[in-house]
């Protein structure tokens, strides 16, 4: 789970993503998807949480919660994933982990980010080329929110989404950026650094001391993979001032 420090939370909106272990398909059939949604609904009756949006794909699922009590959200997610894992292993005659990690959590801090998050969730099947528009996909809350309660909060969100005007283009700064992108960047950075030190038969410490190789590594990370100086500083242990200087080196 992407842990969220309780002391730093100043929101009641949370984007949750669960994913199959090793990114494998865990919702292989209509029966699997319906079972997960049934568990979600049954658990909601036991643990009263507001699910504003959801989308179930083959190897992952997205949910957007309104929850003032983070402990309830943790309890909810633990229960549905535990129950689905038991079902899935029994149904498919397998053992072992079903989900990658526990789940990932992203707090939402602004109205614009909230609206773009819902659009992001509903457009998952479009992005995956499963359908041409979100209303064509039956396993999301776009057309059929099984958790819709008709509260003023949910009515306002639906109103602001302009569901009849999905062609509206959001400004670039309003586009939703999912935390998984940052996780992937870290993995890419680590893999590229490991590739460079393995290829040159050196250690990471030796790479950081070799100005010619370090300059090439920085350029590869920054220009070919859009890795930030902040990320490079974390992985390499070299301060940003030196990284910027080495990037402009002709060595």
The residues near 37 (Cβ < 8 Å, ≥ 6 apart) are: 56, 139, 146
**What's the pLDDT score for residue 84?**
95
**What's the pLDDT score for residue 184?**
60
Strands 13-19 and 104-108: antiparallel
Considering the domain boundaries, does residue 168 fall inside one? yes
pLDDT by residue (tens digit) across 81-139?
A: 999 999 999 999 998 889 887 788 888 887 778 888 888 899 999 988 999 989 899 99
Q: What is the Cα–Cα distance from 226 to 224, expressed in whole angstroms?
A: 6
For residue 10, pLDDT beyond 80: no
Task: Judge if 101 and 199 occupy the same domain.
Answer: no
Structure token digits, residue 45: 């009756």
Say which CATH number the domain at 129 has. Answer: 3.30.70.1290
pLDDT by residue (tens digit) across 168-214?
A: 444 444 444 444 444 466 777 887 888 888 888 999 899 988 888 88
Task: Work out how many domains the chain is built from and give that number.
Answer: 2
Share above pLDDT 70 across residues of the chain, in percent, rounded to a whole number: 82
Structure token digits, residue 95: 């053992």
- The number of CA neighbours under 13 Å toward the Cβ of 184 is 8
Domain limits for position 58 = 6-174
Stretch (H or E) spanning 244: helix 240-247
Indicate the pTM of the whole model: 0.63
Under DSSP, the state recorded for 167 is T
Considering the domain boundaries, does residue 1 fall inside one? no
């Amino acid at each position: 789970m992407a842990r969220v420090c309780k002391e730093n939370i100043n929101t009641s909106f949370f984007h949750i993503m669960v994913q199959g272990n090793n990114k494998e398909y865990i919702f292989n059939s209509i029966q699997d998807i319906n079972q997960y949604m049934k568990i979600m609904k049954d658990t909601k009756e036991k643990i009263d949480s507001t699910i504003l949006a959801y989308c179930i794909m083959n190897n992952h699922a997205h949910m957007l919660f309104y929850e003032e009590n983070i402990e309830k959200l943790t309890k909810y997610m633990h229960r549905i994933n535990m129950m689905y894992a038991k079902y899935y292993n029994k149904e498919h005659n397998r053992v072992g982990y079903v989900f990658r990690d526990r789940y990932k959590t992203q707090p939402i801090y602004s109205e614009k980010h909230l609206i773009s998050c819902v659009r992001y969730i509903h457009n998952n099947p479009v992005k995956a080329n499963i359908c041409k528009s979100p209303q064509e996909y039956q396993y999301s809350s776009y057309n059929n929110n099984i958790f819709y309660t008709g509260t003023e909060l949910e009515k306002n969100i639906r109103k602001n989404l302009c569901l009849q005007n999905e062609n509206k283009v959001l400004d670039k700064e309003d586009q939703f950026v999912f935390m998984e992108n940052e996780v992937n960047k870290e993995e890419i950075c680590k893999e590229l650094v490991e590739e460079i030190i393995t290829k040159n038969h050196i250690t990471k410490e030796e790479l950081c001391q070799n100005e010619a190789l370090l300059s090439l590594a920085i350029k590869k990370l920054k220009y070919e993979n859009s890795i930030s100086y902040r990320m490079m500083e974390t992985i390499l242990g070299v301060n940003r001032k030196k990284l910027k200087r080495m990037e402009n080196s002709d060595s």
